[in-house]
Amino acid sequence: MSQNLLTVVVPVFNEEANIQPFYKALAAVVDNLDMNTEVIFVDDGSIDRTYEEIATIAKQDSRIKCLRFSRNFGSHAALLAGLHAAEGDAAVTISVDLQDPPELFQELVSRWREGSHVVWAVRESREDPPLKKAFAAVFYTLFRRIALSDYPAKGMDFGLFDRVVLDKLKEMKELNHFLPGTIIWLGYRQAQVSYHRRARRIGSTKWSLGKRVKAAIDAIVSFSYFPIRSISYTGIAISLISFLYASFLILRKVFFGLGGPGWASLMVAVLFLGGVQLVMLGMLGEYIWRGNEQAKGRPPYIVMDTLGVDPEKTETNPLKIEALL
């Protein structure tokens, strides 16, 4: 019986210094797996020598493949492109910075062979800056409360996915993907293994605060109706408070003859309501903007060059992306 094929998807962006160390660590693991492997690097518009480093190791190892984007589309688009191009019976996604250990592959594969369609590597602990950990803790707590309650409390972006999951992902045409949330939403049999996330040894993270905030908003807007529902709740609460306060003023005037111009309280009320209205308009704008982006039918990424990958398997042709009109 032929061996299963495992695809390893690795998104990279300006990571020239990490390519060789990562490849050495990865090769030491996959060489000992009782599976055939292919490794798909996805160069997310790097402007350094990342692509050249990948091409160098591809000359030495036929398992190495690469997709090169025309510009930076973001790590979730890079992961999606790699999973679209994957030919394996299962695929693993992993970062190139070695914060996530390739040594965990064997355990992921074992759980997959036991019957799980998705096996998440969940962070039990992590060596990250305090501010990053604090931001992550707030986001995961909020996301679990208002969106996906079964999302791991400490997060994950490293895991193994069965072919059936990969095929379902190809059918989904969302432009602003929050990939972990999408895969959890798909369902199937999902399992978890825990690990310690190491500190980055080489280079610096490409995830700026702005990118983290955008990803958090994308995730919440994609999987929760709470921001929209909160507009109704806030409107009801303000209306009730206004009615009670108006009743109080009328009763005070009728029975006690008290009351004056009240310009200060009027200005406070106007400014408060104006601020609330702007926040609500912003929430509506997030949903409308994403719907507008989706309706345009643009592809989630554009592949400029390929290395060992059939371009037809990348789904980069805009004609293949169905507009929701």
pLDDT at 292: 65
Would you list the domain boundaries of the chain?
5-224+298-320, 226-295
Exposure b/e, 216-253, CB count within 10 A at least 16 = b: bbbbbbbbbeebeebbeeeeeeeeeeeeeeeeeeeeee
Architecture of the domain defined by 5-224+298-320: Alpha-Beta Complex (3.90)
pLDDT at 324: 32
- Does the predicted model carry a pTM greater than 0.85? no
pLDDT digits (tens, 9 = 90+) for 91-134: 998 888 888 888 888 888 888 888 889 898 888 777 677 777 77
pLDDT at 170: 82
pLDDT at 321: 35
pLDDT at 262: 61
pLDDT at 117: 92
pLDDT at 1: 40
CA-closest candidate to residue 316, choices 68, 39, 49: 68
Task: Say if residues 300 and 175 touch (Cβ distance below 8 Å).
Answer: yes
pLDDT at 9: 92
Compute mean pLDDT per 10 residues along the chain, 325 residues long, and list them: 78 87 88 87 88 88 88 83 87 86 87 89 75 76 77 79 87 72 83 79 68 73 73 73 71 67 64 71 71 68 79 52 35
pLDDT at 178: 77
pLDDT at 171: 78
